[in-house]
Amino acid sequence: MALATCLKCGKEVSGEASVCLECGARVSRLSKTNLVKLIGILLGCGLAVLILATFIQTREPVVSNVSNSPVVPVADFQEAKAKADGGDARAQNRLGEMYSKGTGVPQDYKEAAKWYRTAADQGCASAQKNLGELYEAGQGVPRDEKEAVKWYRKAANQGDVRAQYSLAVMYEFGRGLAKEQAEAAKWFRLAAEQGEPLAQYDLGQRYERGLGIPADPAEAYKWHSLAATHGIPDAATALDTLKAKMTRDQINEGKRRVAAFVPTKSLGATQ
């Protein structure tokens, strides 16, 4: 005979009774045999779920054959290669960038250096700057800071803003040439006037401390403020510190200079 179980007191009730004679509560219609079966089913399902989860966690990930390199249509590379072979300096520099970044072709710094040099020898400022970066990092060419300075200077003299900033840093730390703070300030200024945020911050530091140039709080305020506007966190912090040491007239003068600032055009941007 099937046994029923009281939901309240747990007593077993025989027969088809739906109410417990002991406490008057409703009685479960599940027999002991069926209850055991149900527990077995639940345990089995739980074990299956556990096995499936373990399999998912430990299985080998699917390896994608898709490269992380930017995808460039083959036609673009072929067009750049054809123009580069024909002596086009811009195409030669573009080809160098493709090899340097692994864009559409396997990354190859030696091949990048080859094309940068070909374009740089034709006077392409961007290629001169790019070649300088390879020499500074020792990628595709032997690391040579003097050679890096040589190419940075060529590009900087044409107005390439990144080359101007890099040359300023080389002067600041005496890398590849003698340390010279006045020269560093000169090149930081040229880059800052073109709107280069990091150069603006560095120039602000120099005007604040009188490093390589006479100290000028209002001018320091100007450059720190401009750099902070472009999202340089250190510039914003430096500006707050500087303002605490400035007079009201100096701050107003700094604000006037900020409002009057107009970036110069990069001569090297079109090279």
What is the side-by-side strand order in the sheet with 27-28? 12-14, 3-6, 27-28
Tokens of 207: 């005007």
Q: pLDDT band for position 76 (50/70/90)? A: confident
Tens of pLDDT, residues 172-217: 999 999 999 999 999 999 999 999 999 999 999 999 999 999 999 9
The predicted pLDDT at position 127 comes to 98
Residue 268's nearest CA partner among 61, 153, 124, 168 is 124
Domains and CATH numbers, the chain: 3-56 (no CATH), 73-174 (1.25.40.10), 180-263 (1.25.40)
Residue 205's nearest CA partner among 180, 172, 179 is 172
Tens of pLDDT, residues 149-168: 999 999 999 999 999 999 99
Query: How far is 161 from 39, CA to CA, in rounded Å?
Result: 75
Mean pLDDT (the chain) is: 83
**pLDDT at residue 83 tops 90:** yes
Share of the chain above pLDDT 70, in %: 70
Sign of the dihedral through C-alpha 85, 86, 92, 94? negative
Residue length of the chain: 271
**pLDDT at residue 49 tops 60:** no
Report pTM. 0.71
3-class DSSP assignment, residue 266: coil
Residue 225's nearest CA partner among 190, 251, 191 is 251
| Contact in structure between 217 and 250 (CB atoms under 8 Å) | yes
What is the mean pLDDT of the segment spanning 249-269? Answer: 87
Tokens of 28: 């479960």
Tens of pLDDT, residues 217-258: 999 999 999 999 999 999 999 999 999 999 999 999 999 999
Q: Which helix (DSSP H) or strand (DSSP E) does residue 3 occupy?
A: strand 3-6
What is the mean pLDDT of the segment spanning 121-138? Answer: 98
The predicted pLDDT at position 67 comes to 38
What is the mean pLDDT of the segment spanning 99-111? Answer: 95
| Contact in structure between 116 and 135 (CB atoms under 8 Å) | no
| DSSP-assigned letters across all residues of 67-108 | -SSPP--HHHHHHHHHHHHTT-HHHHHHHHHHHHHTSSS---
Tokens of 156: 């900087």
